[in-house]
Structure 1
Amino acid sequence: MSDTATFSYSHADLQQLAEDVLRHAQVKGASACEVDVSEGFGQSVTVRCDEVETIEFNRDKGVGITVYAGQRKGYASTSDFSPQALRDTVEAALNIARFTAEDSCAGLADAALLAKTVPELDLYHPWALTVEEAIERARACEQAAFDADPQISNSEGASISTQQAHFISANSLGFMGGYPTSRHYISCSVIAGEQDAMQRDDWYTTHRDARRLDAPGEVGQRAAQRAVARLGGRKVKTGEYPVIFEAPIAAGLLGSLVHAASGGALYRKSSFLLDQLGQRIFPEFVQISEQPHVRCGLGSAAFDNDGVATQARDVVKDGVLAGYFLSVYTARKLGMQTTANAGGSHNLILEPGELDLAGLMQRMGRGLLVTELLGHGINYVTGDYSRGAAGYWIENGQIAYPVEEITIAGNLRTMFAGVQAVGRDVLIRGSKQTGSILLDKMTVAGE
């Protein structure tokens, strides 16, 4: 991306657009209104086998408008920022609201809960990367993978992406806030082996600040090492074994916690964690906190999608479920108060232990290290968990051989209760942070 690439609209422009929408909604008789105005742009370059495969540019903008006519709610959006288009969109939302049923839980957040100030979270680090530079880095990333091992026989490509955006959220109670953000990544996916004995794997790095990304060569080497290590995979005998979820996929267990403890699942009574607030669901040593104000954090936010100010809190304290994930609406449905989680969690952090991955394997002794999961076999009503998997069989605390074409199964309730240790090999790739996780047992279906 050239050094001159900038936003088409200033922060003040977005504020003015939001004010215009709120004013017109009031004129047209809306009892309340909230609006989100955003703009973003970026580029992605993919190189495969040293040839440029794709160069993509994106630039988009949008306005989302929610209006209330008493307890009736309507929503409409547009990508046209012209005054007439904004007025038409407000009126479209009002027309929708008139035909919707009344909902006693609909409406804006209480004014006292709305963010009054926006802390400096250091979320915006533009990357002035030209297309030529991006291609060069992608080529270097892929070449590092080929150079890492002669068994790397093919590539699915190396990619460099940079994205920037800014937004304003506002409502008719006087709330208005917004800021710019950035996110960049480097990825590589390669294939090891020949003919029927091929395996693929990948690696990527992502951050808001490009200076804190792993070097392209390191990403390529890591992808190659992982692909080669999977050659010669086989099944294991069906049985119950201890299981380690490697850090890159262990964050999925935190995602399952968020889903099951979210307001939507709870008020619909479709979660195995229903009525579990204040109950022990993990071993006593497990501590999970939400830290929305981490500087430069991938999941950091000053306020949620309702405009409610975020704050640090314990989600699991000494193994006890201390908090749900609630928006204004879902909190009202449950007769509770919002936790500022409209839109999801913000830097959910599982406190690491003292062992690295090698230490976890030594503690496990014999069992399965899972490095890849396939499918989405999770029933959040019952907690039943069953997914295809691949990884490594561990004997005497060491990797014995790669494993493929197996299924792991259990129940999230017993999986959470069966956490034996959390590794210190924390990998930060998103809003959920954890090291590898050792579980006491799962059913492994192989041969």
Structure 2
Amino acid sequence: MTPSPDTLTARLLDAAHKAGADAADTVVVQGTSVNIDVRAGVLEQADRAEAIDLGLRVFIGQRSATVSASDSRDATLSEMALRAVAMAREAPEDPYIGLADPDQLAHDLDADPLELHDPAAEPSPADLQDDAQAAEAAALEHGGITQVQSASAGYSAHTIHLAASNGFSGGYTRTGRGLSCVAIAGTGTGMERDYDGDNRTFQADLRAPHDIGTRAAERALERLDARKPATGGYPVLFDERISSTLIGHLLAAANGAAVARGGSWLRDAMGDAVLPDHVSLIEDPRRPRAAGSRPFDGEGLQTQVRNIVDKGVLTGWTLDLATGRKLDMPSTANAGRGTSSPPSPSAWNVALTPGTATRDDLIRDMGTGLLVTSLIGSTINPNTGDYSRGAAGFWVENGQITHAVNECTIAGNLRDMLRQMVPANDARTHLSRVVPSLLVPGMTLAGS
């Protein structure tokens, strides 16, 4: 019988001490995942995985090394520790690495208020197959849908435990339930596809399969007879499905690791206005039933609500301990951690201040321009914020959607785009990134 994750972390720390480490931390992830794919009404593929992953980081003075394994036998734990210590002795010194001081550690380890774990029973493969088949059938009910590329349902449950030689030990369990459908409309060179899907912590919150299949079909049909738009400068409305990518670029530029190495277009923007004056970007890693929630970060620090942008003004960087030390700042409790790599800064749940207008209001008010529902490829200059991406969506003429658009490129500068954007009020509040549709008043569009 495999020992529990908390038992394994304790054994790894003991092995590291015996191998000669000055300090150590370890993370163990034990979980199960089930995925079912159907096509043409029958089961196409079924996968089930049960795995345990172990990661150990050791310190010899200001040198460190990280090793990982997927074997929980005592002999493996001892070998991990010996190898990690040997590697650390050969590693270059880093003045910024090190565990948290005991007084920095999280004091509230209770994950129950965060509702990360659904107590409902794991669904059977037959139940997952039924959901995928129902989504596929709903998509095929629509005339013009020639096939469903894929309909998939899945479930996962993972227990994570982190422990360190500074006295920290804590863990939690996370579950997830997902369902998706990709529909194809038209034939030959006129084929178009689109998708819909949902992912939730609690199975009871998952949208109905019929709804997902229907929406995937409707979206695919709406994309038929697409044309290239005219080249020029136009307002661009980023649909809620993809608008979070813009905020993702801001989060990447505000990541302390990028700032510390001088590779961020926001590196000199602390205290500057980067969003509209009435818009804030708030991180809340303690929001119930959200994918980015956690009671503590990957270094055992207490997670907390913070304003990344407050009424338009950038207030700080996203930091772990080492990156904070490089920038002479305290950690923001944003250390992300896997089993095979050391901690690094990572943003948790974020929410952008919504606007008062609906998406339809913004379409009406934008006059003539582009509604983007899909982005392809990416050319983002991390030093300047210059932005260029392939796009597809719908052309808007005199405030009305007239036809589908594809094979075009939109370009601008993120600093200007984010400062001028106008948010709608249509964000989905259960997502880790709660971002509504965003209207950027002026961008360069390259089409025909």
Compute the TM-score of the two structures, normalised by the length of structure 2.
0.95
1:374 paired residue among 373, 376, 382: 376
2:123 paired residue among 126, 129, 151: 129
2:62 paired residue among 42, 65, 71: 71
2:385 corresponds in structure 1 to: 383
2:153 corresponds in structure 1 to: 160
1:87 corresponds in structure 2 to: 78
* Whole-angstrom distance in 2 between the partners of 1:386 and 1:34: 41
How many angstroms does 1:9 deviate by? Answer: 5.2
2:139 corresponds in structure 1 to: 145
Q: Is the 8 A contact 1:116 1:175 kept in 2?
A: no
Q: Spell out, residue by residue over 1:245-278, the C-alpha distance to the aligned partner (whole angstroms, 9 max, x if none).
A: 1111111111111111101111110000002111
1:3 corresponds in structure 2 to: none
How many angstroms does 1:137 deviate by? Answer: 1.3
1:210 corresponds in structure 2 to: 203
Q: Spell out, residue by residue over 1:269-311, the C-alpha distance to the aligned partner (whole angstroms, 9 max, x if none).
A: 0000002111111110111100111111111011111111110
How many angstroms does 1:134 deviate by? Answer: 1.4
Q: Quick one: which amino acid aligns to residue 247 of structure 1?
A: E
* Whole-angstrom distance in 2 between the partners of 1:427 and 1:204: 13
- Aligned to 1:316, what secondary structure does the other structure show? strand
Q: Is the 8 A contact 1:392 1:401 kept in 2?
A: yes
- Aligned to 2:362, what secondary structure does the other structure show? helix
2:285 paired residue among 253, 277, 292: 292
How many angstroms does 1:428 deviate by? Answer: 5.0
Q: Quick one: which amino acid aligns to residue 85 of structure 2?
A: L
* Whole-angstrom distance in 2 between the partners of 1:206 and 1:256: 23
Compute the TM-score of the two structures, normalised by the length of structure 1.
0.95
Q: Quick one: which amino acid aligns to residue 55 of structure 1?
A: A
How is 1:243-262 mapped onto 2 (pairs within 5 angstroms)?
A: 243-262=236-255
Aligned identity (percent) is 38
Q: Spell out, residue by residue over 1:372-395, the C-alpha distance to the aligned partner (whole angstroms, 9 max, x if none).
A: 000021111111111100000112
Q: Is the 8 A contact 2:5 2:28 kept in 1?
A: yes
- Aligned to 1:278, what secondary structure does the other structure show? coil
2:343 corresponds in structure 1 to: none
How many angstroms does 1:431 deviate by? Answer: 2.5
1:407 corresponds in structure 2 to: 409
Q: Go from structure 1 to structure 2 and tell me whether the alpha carbon gap of 1:244 and 1:284 turns closer, same or farther (over 3 Å shift).
A: same
2:106 corresponds in structure 1 to: 115
2:423 corresponds in structure 1 to: 422
How is 1:287-326 mapped onto 2 (pairs within 5 angstroms)?
A: 287-326=280-319
How many angstroms does 1:351 deviate by? Answer: 1.5
* Whole-angstrom distance in 2 between the partners of 1:401 and 1:189: 21
Q: Quick one: which amino acid aligns to residue 441 of structure 2?
A: D
- Aligned to 1:42, what secondary structure does the other structure show? strand
- Aligned to 2:378, what secondary structure does the other structure show? coil
How many angstroms does 1:112 deviate by? Answer: 2.0
* Whole-angstrom distance in 1 between the partners of 2:29 and 2:81: 16
How many angstroms does 1:169 deviate by? Answer: 0.2
Pairing 1:352–2:370 present: no
Pairing 1:341–2:343 present: no
1:5 corresponds in structure 2 to: none
- Aligned to 2:335, what secondary structure does the other structure show? coil
Structure 1 range deviating more: 31-40 or 355-364: 355-364
1:4 corresponds in structure 2 to: none
Q: Spell out, residue by residue over 1:342-375, the C-alpha distance to the aligned partner (whole angstroms, 9 max, x if none).
A: 1221111102112221122122122110000000
Give ranges in structure 1 of 5+ residues lacking alignment. 1-7
* Whole-angstrom distance in 1 between the partners of 2:245 and 2:134: 31
* Whole-angstrom distance in 2 between the partners of 1:133 and 1:106: 47
1:397 paired residue among 388, 396, 399: 399
2:363 paired residue among 361, 372, 384: 361
How many angstroms does 1:123 deviate by? Answer: 0.4
How many angstroms does 1:429 deviate by? Answer: 6.7
Q: Is the 8 A contact 2:373 2:392 kept in 1?
A: yes
2:447 corresponds in structure 1 to: 446
Q: Is the 8 A contact 1:248 1:427 kept in 2?
A: no
- Aligned to 1:389, what secondary structure does the other structure show? strand
* Whole-angstrom distance in 1 between the partners of 2:38 and 2:5: 36
Pairing 1:433–2:427 present: no
Give ranges in structure 2 of 5+ residues lacking alignment. 337-345
* Whole-angstrom distance in 2 between the partners of 1:127 and 1:446: 51
Q: Quick one: which amino acid aligns to residue 126 of structure 2?
A: E
2:234 paired residue among 233, 241, 252: 241
* Whole-angstrom distance in 1 between the partners of 2:127 and 2:387: 44
Structure 1 range deviating more: 282-291 or 21-30: 21-30
Q: Go from structure 1 to structure 2 and tell me whether the alpha carbon gap of 1:38 and 1:328 turns closer, same or farther (over 3 Å shift).
A: same
1:272 paired residue among 240, 250, 265: 265
- Aligned to 1:359, what secondary structure does the other structure show? helix
* Whole-angstrom distance in 2 between the partners of 1:151 and 1:341: 47
Pairing 1:39–2:5 present: no
Q: Quick one: which amino acid aligns to residue 372 of structure 2?
A: V
How many angstroms does 1:129 deviate by? Answer: 1.4
Q: Is the 8 A contact 2:289 2:430 kept in 1?
A: no
1:99 paired residue among 67, 90, 93: 90
* Whole-angstrom distance in 1 between the partners of 2:102 and 2:410: 47
Q: Quick one: which amino acid aligns to residue 427 of structure 2?
A: V
How many angstroms does 1:317 deviate by? Answer: 0.6
- Aligned to 1:375, what secondary structure does the other structure show? strand
How many angstroms does 1:127 deviate by? Answer: 4.7
- Aligned to 1:426, what secondary structure does the other structure show? coil
2:342 corresponds in structure 1 to: none
How many angstroms does 1:80 deviate by? Answer: 1.0
Q: Is the 8 A contact 1:240 1:444 kept in 2?
A: yes
**Aligned-pair Cα RMSD in Å:** 1.3
- Aligned to 1:73, what secondary structure does the other structure show? strand
Q: Quick one: which amino acid aligns to residue 387 of structure 2?
A: Y
- Aligned to 1:145, what secondary structure does the other structure show? helix
* Whole-angstrom distance in 1 between the partners of 2:7 and 2:305: 31
